[in-house]
Structure 1
């Protein structure tokens, strides 16, 4: 145990030294379901590799960037950059497969010095580490603030409302009928766990709902065995419930505590709490297309997520660790699906959804930036219309996207933009910068404030 503590202390000391010298920058990247996270990270690496051409070549500090080295060896759980490139370069082009686990990108950047002392100082270097993790894991962080009884109450309130009530169907009745104090049936618990996982999946795919807990039921990640996920919410239970050893309550409450204290807290301690900056990707257009229930659920999910970035004397996360994340970028993705003139409106609607939460985060000292992004632009504009290829079809279509309101109505009722399933543009190559919207702005934001 002493050896582990010493290793942790040395690691933290090295990290602190790197932060003080400005030579190491850790950026977390996550996205709620279908936000295009894998495509985003692939494009980010591509833009840096091609920094001498494209938009990056003309803006500081990338106009002084001499070399970029993407590290492949010695990186734990490396991001599948080459696999993603292969998908985008295939014929016909395909979007990269979604990542289902934590992964890392480590890129060494070397800049020419500037100023009168530049020749004396020599080249400046920066190690950029990108931590890529599923958005479902971020949505689990609020579990750190509740016990099992509170969670059961919350799940019952969610399943009492549409569309979850209809999606759950008989599963809700089974969970409601279980007496928490009665002896649990291991076989029935396994069946219910499988049904709960399927329910979460259908909430996401059928109704476009974002709040799906526990998140690792959908994306468990490496090293997570089925036994770690063997619990369900007992809808008849509450914060005052209990049960003897071997009861439904004892079994599920014990597994919940293990999930919360080992998996969720472990991710928080080992990864999230070590980040300097965070990029949160949100597909705003799909919920707008799905309708008011999806937007309302997205609002609840984002408000829960934003709690993780609210720092202050009364903050739960302030008590857990000294905050390190000082910059947060919240980006509406896939905005190439609407005309350039509508893209800012998509971002504004996203920020309208979480106005109060953004104010609280900023009040806690975190700098927040909103950017409408398209990591790989799949459309081109011709007059008032867009031209693009569709997934599974050859040739091109010319269409006019639906109108995006300047602000999101308070009742969250909007006419959907009627989205099409676009395929990537053809002829993408690693040695050429991918077409995009505002990836250069986001990269500049990542490095802003660093003395390089």
Structure 2
């Protein structure tokens, strides 16, 4: 397998991702916080990070100025000149402030933010020691990549069995009808046709895209088929589930089984595990953004799939002795705090926003209990990083994407709790455009960004 041998360095290009900042004059007065920001497609990661930087840059003008420790915040510096793969903050600002305004492009790869915060000292001892400094390092990455972490516990044959089960259930059975028949017809022990395999991998990618866009499904594996990032050789994504195969299948070199198994193993051992080893386990805190309203609008199947997807994601934060990563890895992750945020809650009225967050937590009640029992502090915050609506009486006023002018509408009701059947009335969501007049030198309108930022820094000694 020459293609495997030549690609072994691909997953390790980012080994120096977390570079240690230069030493300060007084290291006792400087602390460092590494925060991962993720969420499944459409959750609003790029908009969130853009708003986070904007709120900190304008800390004297916004709600942050009214709360500790930001009332002592002297200065904020967004570092960009010496940062590898910097977050596209200025591009995002340009999109949001354009005419007409547009939402920034979605996260498709790793990016990194470095923010230096300087706080006024407190008390006599603090004044003698000097200002307290905090460096915040934010890692942005596609949340779908977390959905691949369960692959670390699967062989290729077991994954084939799992995919066969998924394709047997609606709506995947209808979306994959023709592709499923082609995969079922392949004899795993026959000699492989690399051109046909490449076409099948492309068709599997299209199937995953349809699952996401047409059915609102969240569990789409392998995640890198949809968002490969810049560190994955395209040829290493040329594998598919062989539906005649199972965990007991064996075949000679050169067969469909041997080629797909080798590439799956590379994907699992170097891409998926490399992502965890090099990035995920270095984080101190994690912000997990979830678009709960979209699946509620899409229906029961989308909610059920989101539940399974979020349980797979939260398995990454399970520190108990029986957790997936605890069994697989000899070290414990260092994440100690997790912010779980239902996003885009400005699409419903302020009185219903807490209900959206409650429904999200209802969806994952058992897994959240496991994570808390493992020693992780969890904070649930219904969030709108950039508020696109304004309330007038019982109605909301907003602009629609691709259209001029304004509409007035009344959003659908959100239940106080998510029923166990996962059957809810659609909230009838609208595609809203960003509000006009956004500028980098003014804090963006939002819901509860100040709560989240204050909570993230709440565990730091400032």
Question: TM-score band (shorter)?
Answer: over 0.9
Match of 2:360 in 1: 350
1:336 to 318, 334, 346: 346
Q: Are residues 1:53 and 2:53 paired? A: no
RMSD over aligned CA atoms reads: 1.9
Q: What CA distance in whole angstroms lies between the structure 1 residues aligned with 2:335 and 2:20? A: 16
Which of 392, 402, 406 does residue 402 from structure 2 map onto?
Answer: 392
Residues 123-142 of structure 1 deviation map (CA, whole Å, 9 limit, x = unaligned): 00010000000011111111
Contact 1:140 1:213 in 2 (8 A): yes
What is the aligned partner in structure 1 of residue 4 from structure 2? none
Contact 2:188/2:251 (<8 A) preserved: yes
Unaligned residue ranges in structure 1 (runs of 5+): none
Partner of 1:425, secondary structure, is coil
Distance verdict in 2 for CA 1:20–1:229, change over 3 Å: farther
Q: Determine whether 1:130 maps to 2:142.
A: no
**Offset of residue 316 of structure 1:** 3.1
Aligned residues: 445
Q: Is the 8 A contact 2:73 2:120 kept in 1?
A: yes
CA contact (8 A) 1:183 1:248 kept: yes
Runs of 4+ in 1 over 3 A off after TM superposition: 10-15, 18-22
Relative to the length of structure 1, the TM-score reads 0.96
The answer to whether 1:415 aligns with 2:425 is yes
The structure-2 alpha-carbon separation of the partners of 1:19 and 1:148, relative to structure 1 and needing over 3 Å to count, comes to farther
Cα deviation for residue 99 of structure 1 reads 2.0
Aligned runs of 1:45-124 on 2, under 5 Å? 45-124=53-132
The CA distance in 2 between the partners of 1:22 and 1:441, in whole Å, is 23
1:360 maps to 370
Q: Extract unaligned runs of 5+ from structure 2.
A: 1-8
Aligned mates of 1:344, 1:192 — CA distance in 2: 44
The separation in 1 between residues aligned to 2:165 and 2:27, in whole angstroms, is 44
Contact 2:92 2:104 in 1 (8 A): yes
Change in Cα spacing, 1:19 to 1:295, as seen in structure 2 (3 Å) is farther
Deviation track 1:54-112 (CA, whole Å, cap 9, x = no partner) reads 10000011111000000011111100000000000001111111121000000000000
Residues of 2 paired with 1:58 and 1:21: CA distance?
24
Deviation digits for residues 180-212 of structure 1 (CA, Å, limit 9, x no counterpart):
111111111011000000000110000000000
TM-score by length of 2: 0.93
Q: Distance in 1 between matches of 2:179 and 2:27?
A: 50
What secondary structure, in the 3-state scheme, does the structure 2 residue paired with 1:324 have?
Answer: coil
Which residue number corresponds to residue 176 of structure 1? Answer: 184
**For 1:119 and 1:162, how far apart are their aligned partners in 2?**
64
1:314 paired residue number: 322
Q: 2:6 — aligned with what?
A: none
- Offset, 1:321: 2.1
Equivalent residues in 2 for 1:141-290, closer than 5 Å? 141-290=149-298
Q: Secondary structure at the match of 1:207?
A: coil
1:84, 1:97 within 8 Å by CA — same for their partners in 2? yes
